[in-house]
Structure formats: C-alpha cells, structure tokens
Amino acid sequence: MLSTMMAIKIDANNHGRISELGQRVLNGGQVVRDEALSLFNLENTADIFDLLSWANRIREKFKGNKIHLCSIVNAKAGACSENCSFCAQSSFYQTGSPKYGFVDPEPVSEAADEANKNSVTAVGLVAAWKGLNEGPMLDEVCDRIRELKAGGKTRPDASLGIIKKQEVANRLKDAGLECYGHNLESSRRFFPQTCSTHTFDDRLETIGYLKKAGLKICSGGIIGMGETREDRCDLAFELKAIGANVVPINILNPIPGTPFEKNPPLPVMEILKTIACFRFILPRQEIMIAGGRTVNLRDAQSMIFMAGASALMVGNYLTTLNQSVEKDLQMLKDLGLDPSWDNHGFSDQEETGYGCGKENCETEAVMA
C-alpha cells in the first residue's frame, strides 16, 4: 500500500491500473468496457482522487484550458405528452412548472445578447414536446434559428425532441442550426425505467437523421435516477458509438410530483468519479456538466474540471435555478480556465463513431 498526502491509503494495484489506463489514453489509446467498469467500481476516496488527477491530465491534453459554455432557452414549456420520470414538464405529473407555447423572437434575441456578454458559445432552443414534424411549427422553429444565426452573437443550437423524417433534420440544418441536443438519458437497459412513451431506438433513429443532415450531436444523460454503475458505463460507450460531439452529464435534481421525487442523491465523490470515467472513455469530446450541478455538488463544483469536464451549462436550467453566470465565470478565472471561444464553433475531435467494443454493436448498426 502507498500513502498519500491525506494519510489515506491508496491501493497499489488500483494505482498501477489507473496509471496504465490514464497513460494509454494520453497516448491516444482507448479503454475497453471491462477496464472502464473497473474504474467506475473504485470505492476508496484516495483511489478516486488518483483517478481525477489522470482525468485532469487527459482533459488538459485534449481540450487545453478552454471551457466551452452553453446556455438554453425554454422555447416551449410544459404540457409535454411524454412521461419521462425525471421531468417537471411532463403532462403526466403535477409539478406546477410553467406552461406556454413556442417562444417569440424577443426572448431568444435577449438570451443571445446575454450569452454574448458572458462569453457563452451557444444558445439552445429547448422545446417540451415529443418531437418535431413537417408543418407550420417547423417553419416557426426555423425562423427562430435563422434569427439567431443572423444575429451572429452565439452558435444556434436546439433540442426539439424526436425526429422521424430526414427532411426535418435537413430543414433545421438549412436554417443554420449547427448542433442538436438529444440525450440518450441512460443505458439501453435502464431507459425503459425512465420513459415508456418512446424508446431508446426512437432516440438513436433521431440521431441518425441528424448526423446524416450534417449536424453536430450533443447527447448525454442523467445520473442518479437509480441506474447502476454498469448503466453509466454503457451509456458512455453508447455515446462514443454514436459519435456525440458534446456529452452533457446531468445529475438528477428530484422534482416533487415526479416518480423520481424521492430518489436519494448521489454522493459527491460518486459524481466526480463518473465524470472522470467519462473522460477516460471520451477523451476528445466536450464533457459538459449540466442540470443538477449546484444542488448536488455544492462547494465541490469546481472539482468537475479536475474530474475532466471541459464544458459547462450556465444560466438557469429549464425548470430549476443554477448559480449565477458571474459566479461561474469567477470560478473559471480562479482556476486559470478560459471560457472564451473564438468562433462559436467546435474544436478538433474525432468525428466518427468508434463502436462500443461489443460484438454486433447495435448502436453501430443503427448508425450505419
């Protein structure tokens, strides 16, 4: 056994394994599922700090000291036909969250001004509905995207649910959309416990249309819903397989009135370890810490960067509050991290899917 500065013992075998995998990823190699799962299963606080130090090195190597900031506008709120168990906006649950129709141009342009003032790269239009079809609503959505693009202040992003036709994805791309947010939420195995009104395959199919249209993909999930570490590990490999460009990690903020309202919070070290494991599996992706950050991490929020995060959702979330953007910017400054993003674009990263390492990977088949 080795000792650390904290006088907590670290396991020499774990230390050797973490270092070997960390060095491999730094050298451009990859970890396979069983190796990654052994990292997810680390228990000892000293071993987890060891893991974080490697995740930090991997982040520095592939992402430098730039931190990509994103914000969102709730472009259509509440009364959603879907039953996602974590969501305040589902019509299945009594949560008291606001309800309104599709947003007018003014709030979107105000959000772009605010984002620009705070070095925020992108503003995403997020709509609470099942998905988007051809018709007058698609015309209106495309108008908002065109206006955002023409304003030139931020990158126009959107998260508009399930898409069932290639033409819809093409229209969004033609309007100037660059990146579409569509989370896988969790592993294929756990997904049915989060939602029964649409399927994991509906989500993969949507991502297939988006990629074919040439859009960048922002896709991640939520941790703390009752899933296992294996589910988190499999989610990370699915995201790798679909070639997600940005990977948001949300931490469940249990909403009263939803089926997950009584879920116990994840321990802070479990959250940080999960972020670090994602960085080992997805060394070049933007790993963004999104909803539930403030309430779950409290004073440990700045540790997310040491755990490998390279992006941050700032401003308020769809139905819950975040800490102020000023406080986030101060946190980055104190850590010597740079939020500026020159062209509102994407940094270099591998664009292709990688496969998850399993034989006959279904995700690869869907995306092919």
In the complex with ligand SF4, the residue whose CB is nearer, 89 or 285, is 89
Query: Where does residue 80 fall: left (phi above 0), alpha (psi -120 to 50 degrees), or beta otherwise?
Result: beta
In the complex with ligand SF4, the residue whose CB is nearer, 31 or 162, is 162
Tell me the H-state helices in 213-310.
229-242, 268-281, 293-297, 303-306
- Of 327, 339, 255, 256, give the one whose Cα is nearest residue 291: 255
Least separation in angstroms between CB 326 and ligand SF4: 29
Distance CA 180, CA 93 (A): 27
In the complex with ligand SF4, the residue whose CB is nearer, 92 or 354, is 92
Least separation in angstroms between CB 275 and ligand SF4: 22
In the complex with ligand SF4, the residue whose CB is nearer, 21 or 84, is 84
Positions that interact with ligand SF4 (CB under 6 A): 80, 82, 84, 87, 89-90, 128, 161
In the complex with ligand SF4, the residue whose CB is nearer, 251 or 337, is 251
Classify burial at 2, counting beta carbons within 10 Å of its beta carbon; exposed 0-12, middle 13-18, buried 19 or more. Answer: exposed
CA angle 283/43/293 to nearest 5° reads: 60
Least separation in angstroms between CB 192 and ligand SF4: 14
Structural tokens at position 332:
């980055």
In the complex with ligand SF4, the residue whose CB is nearer, 62 or 317, is 317
Least separation in angstroms between CB 256 and ligand SF4: 15
In the complex with ligand SF4, the residue whose CB is nearer, 128 or 246, is 128
List, in order, residues 6 or more apart from 136 with CB less than 8 Å away: none
List, in order, residues 6 or more apart from 92 with CB less than 8 Å away: 83
Least separation in angstroms between CB 228 and ligand SF4: 21
Least separation in angstroms between CB 90 and ligand SF4: 4
To the nearest 10°, the Cα dihedral for 118, 122, 123, 127?
Answer: -150
Least separation in angstroms between CB 80 and ligand SF4: 3
